[in-house]
A = this chain, B = another copy of it.
Amino acid sequence: MRHNGRVTQEIGKRPNIYDVASAAGVSKSLVSLVLRGAPGVSPARRAAVEEAIERLNYRPSRAAATLAGNRSRTIGVVLDDYRNLWFVDLLAGLHDRLAPLGFRVAVADPSFNAHLDRTPVDGLLSMRVDGVVIATEPTEEMFAAVDVPAVVAGNRDMVVPGADIVANDDVMGGRLATEHLIGLGHREIGHVTGAGGAARLRAQGFDAMMRGSGLRPQVAQGQGLTMESDGYEAALRLLEENPSLTAIFAANDTMALGAAGAARDRGRRIPEDLSLIGYDNSPLASANLLRLTTIDGRNRQVGDGAAEALLERMKDPATPVHTKLVEPELVLRASTAAPA
């Protein structure tokens, strides 16, 4: 009723669906169908609506669509830290799987909480996301709030009840890295680890492989998390404790960078005097200065799997919770070689 008398759009006002409808000579409902790419719209009308949209420079209101539809067609991703680049492929994987289905991806950063929001999840729930990907260590507070399908990406310490887990197989990756070094002939191998579930599992793979081969696992943990400086410091300690060490497996590429610094500072050339292997296959690893042999966790696949799990749970919330592990693979570069 309010719109019946309107023939032209008032100037200075953003056009809405009614403006488009009257410009195209159709009903607002038809415009809505075109916007959502629904089937069962005649080509002629669809074209007319699209032309009107173009002509009016119309842009649909996400807010109205979300409110009316009671769903945002958006998947929220909780991120740790932008400096750790593993999330880039994760996002790409999520997007590739979700975009064709009309879903958007929205990122929430724990450090960027808005007024009243206690956790980044609050912000996402306020925007009525249809699902949540937790790509950080979950907290009690966080998952107490979640009432939409959720999946935890990456291996974590805490388990979120009701959430699927999709991650690369960190234990296997740790084993793979260690196996590679042993295969090269190394016997004195150190592992630089950090805090967090993924690092723990990688260490576990290292430990299992070493013991399985009758070798002594030597591990050093950085003071902090899994940063460059932690890798540096831990590698330094490793090298000090056992000067006959010929290889180091770092829990991730960033720590491997730190380990490379430690090796340089101790006069050890890579790979001649010390083999070094990282984890993540980050852009860093392919740098010419390092040419770092590493493990690729195939995070794009993890993103794809996370999207898959979310989609399934959105269709049927009663789907039993499951864990999906993506097989990691060894990426050979120039930082590992047979011991002298």
Contacts and interface: CB of A to CB of B under 8 A. Distances in A.
Interface of A: 35, 37, 57, 59-67, 72, 82-83, 85, 87-88, 91-92, 95, 99, 102, 104-107, 109, 111-116, 122-123, 125-128, 145, 228-229, 232, 257-258, 260-262, 264-265, 283-284, 286-290
A102 B65 CA distance: 23
What is the oligomeric copy number? 2
Contacts of A114: 99, 102, 104
A82 B85 contact: yes
A119 to B, nearest CB: 11
6 contacts: A59-B126, A63-B67, A82-B87, A99-B112, A104-B114, A258-B289
Nearest to A288: B261
A115 B284 CA distance: 33
B63 A128 contact: yes
A257 B83 contact: no
A203 B82 CA distance: 28
Contacts of A125: 59
A87 B83 CA distance: 10
Contact of A287 (B61, B261, B283): B261
A72 B60 CA distance: 14
Contact of A260 (B66, B72, B289): B289
A128 B63 CA distance: 8
Interface centre among A57, A60, A126, A145 (most CB of B within 10 A): A126
Contacts of A145: 57, 59
A284 B228 CA distance: 9
A257 B289 contact: yes
Nearest to A92: B111
Contacts of A126: 59-62
A312 to B, nearest CB: 21
Given A67-B61, A102-B115, A287-B228, A83 B88 contact: yes
Contacts of A83: 85, 88, 283
A166 B223 CA distance: 38
A128 B61 contact: yes
A132 B59 CA distance: 16
B115 A99 contact: yes
Given A59-B122, A258-B289, A261-B288, 9 more contacts: A59-B126, A62-B128, A63-B65, A82-B87, A82-B88, A91-B112, A104-B114, A257-B287, A264-B288
